[in-house]
Amino acid sequence: AQRVTQPEKLLSVFKGAPVELKCNYSYSGSPELFWYVQYSRQRLQLLLRHISRESIKGFTADLNKGETSFHLKKPFAQEEDSAMYYCALGRGNNDMRFGAGTRLTVKP
Amino acid sequence: GAGVSQTPSNKVTEKGKYVELRCDPISGHTALYWYRQSLGQGPEFLIYFQGTGAADDSGLPNDRFFAVRPEGSVSTLKIQRTERGDSAVYLCASSGQASEQFFGPGTRLTVL
């Protein structure tokens, strides 16, 4: 069965500090992993996906199949990064399984 | 062009009533998804359409929930005999060729 676990419901860091949002998954097939973000009063939107191997807004995430993890990292957090972050596991164009989310607060 | 839209933005109903929630996907997107998000949780998959047909409805919690997409564009999620536990934000998303899903703003359903 597909399952996504985000162990931290809340994460608080100071501006300029590194941040890592954890995500672990379980899936028997070849996973497609995503990070979605929801800023205050905005809709859920894609932040990045593992197949693109890109950096968006300074965030990166590496798929570690051995540890079944897809942690989201940023070396220097900014106040505007404060938001809800959801890790998601997809199967091509089929449904997505989301984690419970982590609320990141970046303090000034 | 416009993104995914959902109406109404808020719906308050009484226990036992019937409700319909509407989703207008991005034009040309063949895939459409419904999710339910309860407080403090991530979106929970309900049903996925490819064109007019439901490709996967395994997430529908019971037979009170039903969704249609008769012309392969607009979709309606229907809930019969609503219960207080149905209160949540119902999200719709659509996608085209790529696997990125574009989400609507959601409909907040409150069952009193």
Touching check for A86 and chain B: CB below 8 Å?
yes
B27-32: long-range contacts at Cβ-Cβ below 8 A with a sequence spacing of 24 or more? B27/B1, B27/B2, B27/B73, B28/B96, B29/B94, B29/B95, B29/B96, B29/B102, B30/B72, B30/B96, B31/A93, B31/B94, B31/B95, B31/B96, B31/B101, B32/B69, B32/B75, B32/B92, B32/B93, B32/B94
Instruction: For residues A70-83, give the mean pLDDT.
Output: 97
* pLDDT reading at A95 higher than 90: no
Size of interface A-B (CB pairs under 8 A): 53
Residues A98, B100: C-beta atoms closer than 8 Å: no
| pLDDT recorded at residue B40 | 85
Taking contacts as CB-CB distances below 8 angstroms, the residues of chain B near A92 are: 99
Report the residue from B45, B55, B103 with minimal CB separation from A45: B103
Query: If we measure between CA atoms, which residue out of B1, B109, B112 comes closest to residue B46?
Result: B109
Give the length of chain B: 112
CA A20 to chain centroid:
9
Say whether B41 and A101 touch across the interface (CB within 8 A): yes
Measure in Å the smallest separation between the Cα of B81 and chain A Cα atoms. 26
CB < 8 Å from B in window 50-79 of A: none
pLDDT at A34: 93
The mean pLDDT value for B82-107 works out to: 92
Mean pLDDT estimate for chain B: 94
> pLDDT tens digits for B45-67?
999 999 999 888 989 999 999 99
In this complex, the residue of B45, B55, B106 whose CB is nearest that of residue A97 is B45
Distance CA B34, CA B76 (A): 10
Residues 13-32 in A contacting B (C-alpha not used; CB under 8 Å): 32
Between chains, do B33 and A96 touch, taking CB under 8 Å as contact?
A: yes
Predicted confidence band at B98 (pLDDT cuts at 50, 70, 90)?
confident
**pLDDT of B36:** 97
Round to the nearest angstrom and report the end-to-end CA distance of chain B. 37
Q: Which residue of B has its CA nearest to A84?
A: B42
Lowest mean pLDDT among A15-19, A99-103, B95-99, B101-105: B95-99
